[in-house]
Amino acid sequence: MQYHVIEVGDTRFEVLQRYNDLHALGSGAQGVCCSARDTIANRSVAIKKLSRPFQNITHAKRAFRELKLMRLVNHVNIIGLLDVFTPQTTLDEFQDVYLVMELMDANLCQVIQMELDHERISYLLYQLLCGIKHLHSAGIIHRDLKPSNIVVDRKCTLKILDFGLARSGQNHNMTPYVVTRYYRSPEVVLGMKYGPNVDIWSVGCIMGEMIRGRVVFCGTDHIDQWKKITDLLGTPSAEFTNRLQPSVRDFVESRPYCEGISFDVLFSDDYFPPDSERYEQLNSKNARDLLTKMLVIDPKHRMSVDEALRHPYINLWFKDDEVNGPPPATYDSSAEADELTVQQWKQLIYNEVKDYEACRDSKIDDR
């Protein structure tokens, strides 16, 4: 395989010859992304160069997790992995990982700034929930859903991306700082064990942002984040606080009692687009009802992804092959349970990249 070097901004991309016309799209904690033209498949793609994946154990573990999960998932509402490669040919040289994905037109941050009608809000949420259900069906919790990790195209097709923080299984404890603060569920903010419906809280935050045009819970740190949540939703019940660790419970109970704001005020009719003339269930009343069931402090009383998909505001789009398609292959998280060194993680990632390249090349040879 032949490679060529292209400077994209201040980042050096060494990519296969088939990819050219690279242009910067953006960068984040996990990598730098650019658009490119795949001259063999004759299509536009996105290429993500993982940022220094072996600088420490945390980065290496996230790089392995993202690559592994992207190879397992297969759903129209989750970004498709088209290619994986490294220009280095030995483990000692190995330092760069490139992921080639479908190219979309915008992320949800940009879409939220547009005037959205009920049809678009409902359809975007339906697709988001379908993608989440696909992940949850394999025991995968995304954990980092936010507008910048969700992309759309001109046909209003939505796809979830960025699996660097996704986890398999349930009842994890998670340090509060790893997920973008504004979309963190209360159980994450307070360091509780959590399950799949942390993702539903994030969907509620995203939906609320679509309606109000701005972030709903805009905290400056994790303590202020909890304050913002309780200012709007009220002090949680004793049933919830009794499940907290003693020191956290003392903090929560030391705060002044807050009644919260009713959803009729928090999401008043003024924020909503006109009720749909085409679909009678697409109206502000049903949208507000959905929000009241997703933005619930106590996860035991928060709706599940299946309940959200059955809600009147969502279920008009229901298609069985989209909602109940084949689940992804099971993610083996056993490596994450081991105390691996950076070098061991590097070996696992190298093996994964080389396995992908071998599978790709064998398919080419079979043609």
Read off the pLDDT of residues 203-248 as tens digits, 9 standing for 90 and up.
Answer: 999 999 999 999 999 999 889 999 999 999 999 999 999 999 999 9
Coil, strand or helix at 113:
coil
Residue 364 has pLDDT above 80, yes or no: no
Q: Which amino acid is at 103?
A: L
**132-148 tens-digit pLDDT:** 999 888 888 888 899 98
Residue 1: predicted pLDDT: 67
Whether the CB-CB separation of 71 and 39 falls below 8 Å is answered with: no
Residue found by looking up tokens 């730098």 in the block: 32
pLDDT confidence bin for 339, thresholds 50/70/90: confident
Residue 43: predicted pLDDT: 96
Tokens of 76: 């129209």
Query: What whole-number distance in Å separates Cα of residue 79 and Cα of residue 152?
Result: 10
Residue 179: predicted pLDDT: 46
Residue 187: predicted pLDDT: 94
Whether the CB-CB separation of 64 and 349 falls below 8 Å is answered with: yes
Neighbours of 58 (CB within 10 A): 12
Please state the pTM of the whole predicted model: 0.90
**26-40 tens-digit pLDDT:** 877 678 899 999 999
Residue 174: predicted pLDDT: 40
Residue 167: predicted pLDDT: 47
Coil, strand or helix at 49:
strand
Residue 176: predicted pLDDT: 37
List, by residue number, the catalytic residues.
144
Residue 178 has pLDDT above 50, yes or no: no
**9-27 tens-digit pLDDT:** 889 999 999 999 999 988 7
Whether the CB-CB separation of 39 and 18 falls below 8 Å is answered with: yes
Residue 165: predicted pLDDT: 47
Residue 27: predicted pLDDT: 79
Residue 112: predicted pLDDT: 92
Residue 180: predicted pLDDT: 67
Residue 172 has pLDDT above 70, yes or no: no
24: exposed, middle or buried (C-beta count within 10 Å: 0-12, 13-18, 19+)? middle
pLDDT confidence bin for 163, thresholds 50/70/90: low
Whether the CB-CB separation of 200 and 303 falls below 8 Å is answered with: yes
Residue 321: predicted pLDDT: 92
Whether the CB-CB separation of 271 and 291 falls below 8 Å is answered with: no
**74-107 tens-digit pLDDT:** 899 999 899 999 999 999 999 999 999 999 999 8
Residue closest to 331 by CA, chosen among 74, 159, 139, 196? 139
Domains and CATH numbers, the chain: 3-104+339-366 (3.30.200.20), 106-323 (1.10.510.10)
